């Protein structure tokens, strides 16, 4: 997949700046957890979003993520 060096897209800029892989989702992503819908899955999702924000890898949900003392104590 070709990506243009277009500085107008925050998404494209993030990919370029961080050297992320570009391709089909099935080829570049991995399943982290398999759970049924519910509070446990929501918590796991929020934790992984939090970790990516702390690592400056998240370009979405920055306004909706809050500080979480539990996540701060277990982050890797």
- What confidence score (pLDDT) does residue 64 get? 59
pTM, to two decimals = 0.54
Closest of 49, 62, 57, 47 to residue 14, by C-alpha: 57
User: Cα separation of 23 and 2, whole Å?
Assistant: 9
| pLDDT tens for each residue of 2-38 | 555 555 777 777 778 878 877 888 888 788 888 899 9
For the chain, the structural domain boundaries read 1-29, 31-76
């Amino acid at each position: 997949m070709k990506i243009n060096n277009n500085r107008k897209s925050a998404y494209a800029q993030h990919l370029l700046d961080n050297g992320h892989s570009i391709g089909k989702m099935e080829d570049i992503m991995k399943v982290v957890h398999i759970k049924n819908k519910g509070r446990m899955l929501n918590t796991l999702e929020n934790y992984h979003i939090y970790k990516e924000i702390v690592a400056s890898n998240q370009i979405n949900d920055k306004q909706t993520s809050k500080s979480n003392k539990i996540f701060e104590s277990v982050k890797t």
